[in-house]
Amino acid sequence: MAHILLVDDEEAIVYVFRRYLERAGFQVTAATNPVAAVAAAGAGAFDLLVTDYRMPGLSGSELVARLRVANPGLPALVVTAYGAEVALAEANVRVMNKPLSPADLVEAVRQALVQAVAP
């Protein structure tokens, strides 16, 4: 079972996305701020990061960079309402726009995990 780190500063988004992902069979650790996410990542390994882009403290791209210090190959899915301003040219980072259907979120997570293990 893949372990997902889910980060969004909106508690309602965290709640809904967590439920979608857990129903799809993923283990989910959730944080409502990027500082808590960095702490959670220090306590254990994750297979994928699902994060918002605009958050207080660190942006989604800054969070990806911080977490990749300890886990350079960590794939990430940035889900944001501000997709037009997100310019991430990082490997294994996909940007998706909110609102996002449950099926689209789960499928994007599955694809990111498959691509992360593909040679």
| pLDDT digit string, tens, across residues 33-57 | 999 999 998 877 899 999 999 999 9
Confidence label for 90 from pLDDT (cuts 50, 70 and 90) = low
pLDDT digits (tens, 9 = 90+) for 57-70: 998 889 999 999 98
d(CA 16, CA 50): 13
DSSP for residue 62: H
Render pLDDT for 25-34 as a digit per residue (tens, 0 to 9): 999 999 999 9
The CATH code of the domain at 3-117 is 3.40.50.2300
Contact 37, 64 (CB under 8 A): no
CA distance 54 to 10: 10
Residue with the larger pLDDT of the pair 80 and 18: 18
Task: Tell me the whole-structure pTM to 2 decimals.
Answer: 0.91
pLDDT(89) > 60: no
- The domain limits of the chain are 3-117
Written as one string, the DSSP assignment of 74-101 is --EEEEES-GGG-----TTEEEEESS--
